Amino acid sequence: MTIPVAVVMGSQSDWETMKEACDALSQFGVGWKAEVVSAHRTPKRLVEFAEQAVDEGYQIIVAGAGGAAHLPGMIASLTPLPVLGVPVKSRALSGLDSLLSIVQMPKGVAVGTLAIGASGAWNAGLLAAQMLATRDPDLLKRIADWKASRADEVLADAQLGQESFE
C-alpha cells in the first residue's frame, strides 16, 4: 500500500506545527509520512527526495519551513507533483519571512501557500485530502460529512444570549 502524502519540513523544530497537517490527514483516513528535509542543510537529500517522490508513490507533498523558507519552492522545482507550502512561524519575524519566501514563486513553478502556523498546517492536510477526494468518492463523502458536522457545531454555538424586558 503506497502512502499518498509526504509531509516534509526544514527542521525537527517545525514538527509541532507540521504535525497538524498529519492530524488532519489522519482524521480523514489519508496516509502520510513525515520527515525532515532541508534545502539549506541537506541539499543532496532534498534533491534525492524530490526526484524520487513520484516513484515512492506520493501524490501530494506538504512542505513546511520557517524563516528563509526555500524548501517548498525547491521541491516544486524538482517534481511534477503538487506542493502545498506551510509558512512556519519564525522567532524573529513571526512567520512573515516564511510566508513571503514561500508565496512569491516565479511564474511556472507553483506552490499552493497556506496561512502561517498551525492552522495553515492543518488546512494543508485538509486541502491535500480534498485534492485526493476528487478521485475517491468515499473520501469525498467523509469530508462532506465532516464539513456538515462542523457547520452544525458552529450553529449550535452561534446564539450568544439575549435579554428582554417586556
Ligand X SMILES: Nc1c(C(=O)O)ncn1[C@@H]1O[C@H](COP(=O)(O)O)[C@@H](O)[C@H]1O
Positions in 80-109 near ligand X (CB under 6 A): 88
In contact, 120 and 51? CB cutoff 8 Å: no
Q: Rounded to an integer, what distance in angstroms lies between the CA atom of residue 28 and that of residue 67?
A: 30
How near is the Cβ of 105 to ligand X at its closest, in Å?
Answer: 13
Sign of CA dihedral 25, 39, 12, 103: negative
Residue 38 in contact with ligand X, rule: CB under 6 A: yes
Check binding of 142 to ligand X (CB under 6 A). Answer: no
Beta strands in 54-106 (DSSP E): 60-66, 83-88
Q: Give which of 22, 8, 53 is closest to 123, Cα–Cα.
A: 22
Query: Could you tell me if 88 and 66 are in contact, meaning their C-beta atoms sit under 8 angstroms apart?
Result: yes
Min dist CB 113 to ligand X, Å, is 14
Which residue stretch of 6-14, 106-114, 123-131, 139-147 sits at the interface with ligand X (rule: CB under 6 A)?
Answer: 6-14
> Measured on CA atoms in the order 49, 50, 51, 53, is the torsion positive or negative?
positive
Identity of the residue, 4 or 64, whose beta carbon is nearer to ligand X in the bound complex: 64
Q: Which is nearer to ligand X, 4 or 95 (CB)?
A: 95
Question: Which CB atom, from 14 or from 20, has the smaller least distance to ligand X?
Answer: 14
Q: Does 69 interact with ligand X (rule: CB under 6 A)?
A: yes
Q: Nearer Cβ to ligand X, position 4 or 67?
A: 67
Interface residue list for ligand X (CB under 6 A): 9-11, 13-14, 38-41, 65-71, 88
